[in-house]
Amino acid sequence: MPTTTLTINCPSGHTLAAKVDEPETLDTPESPSAYAVFAHCFTCSKDSIAAARIGRALSARGIGVLRLDFTGLGGSEGEFGESTFSGNLEDLRTACVWLLENRCAPGLLIGHSLGGAAVLALAGRDPADDEALASIRAVATIGAPADPEHVTHLFAAGIDEIRRDGSAEVTIGGRPFRVGAALVDDLSAQDPKANIENLSRLGRALMLFHSPVDRIVGIDNAATIYGWARHPKSFISLDQADHLLTSKNDAELVAGVLAAWSVHSAGHSVAGEWAHSVGEYRVTPSWGILWAAIPSWLW
Per-position DSSP letters for 168-232, written without gaps between them: EEEEETTEEEEEEHHHHHHHHT--HHHHHHHHHHTT-EEEEEE-TT-SSS-THHHHHHHHH--SS
Residue 182 lies in a domain: no
The stretch 208-231 carries a mean pLDDT of 97
In this prediction the pTM is 0.88
Segments forming the whole domain that contains residue 263: 3-149+192-298
Residue 229 lies in a domain: yes
SS3 91: helix
Mean model confidence pLDDT for the chain: 87
User: For position 128, what pLDDT does the model report?
Assistant: 79
Percent of the chain with pLDDT over 70: 85
Residue 164 lies in a domain: no
Nearest to 123, CA basis, from 43, 101, 18, 132? 132
Strand partners, 207: 140, 234
Residue 169 lies in a domain: no
SS3 34: strand
pLDDT in tens, 41-81: 999 999 999 999 999 999 998 899 999 999 999 999 999 99
SS3 262: helix
User: For position 291, what pLDDT does the model report?
Assistant: 36
Residue 277 has pLDDT above 60, yes or no: no
Residue 168 lies in a domain: no
CATH number, domain with residue 263: 3.40.50.1820
Question: Which residues have C-beta within 8 Å of that of residue 133, sequence separation ≥ 6?
Answer: 93, 96, 122, 123, 125, 127
User: For position 4, what pLDDT does the model report?
Assistant: 95
Nearest to 63, CA basis, from 83, 37, 41, 45? 37
For β-strands 108-112 and 138-142, DSSP reports them as parallel
Query: What is the distance in angstroms between the CA of the first residue and the CA of the last residue of the chain?
Result: 34
Helices (H) and strands (E) in the chain, counts: 9, 10
Residue 246: alpha-carbon gap to chain centroid: 16
Residue 282: pLDDT band (50, 70, 90) is: very low
Residue 125 lies in a domain: yes
Q: CA-to-CA distance for 47 and 67, rounded, in angstroms?
A: 8
Host H or E run for residue 101? helix 85-102
Q: CA-to-CA distance for 65 and 67, rounded, in angstroms?
A: 6
Dihedral pair phi/psi, residue 74, rounded to 5°: 55, -130
The stretch 138-159 carries a mean pLDDT of 97
User: For position 24, what pLDDT does the model report?
Assistant: 78
Q: How many Cβ atoms are within 10 Å of 95's Cβ, its own excluded?
A: 25
Task: Give the count of domains, the chain.
Answer: 1
Residue 9 lies in a domain: yes
Q: CA-to-CA distance for 60 and 190, rounded, in angstroms?
A: 36
Angle (CA) 72 49 6, round 5°: 50
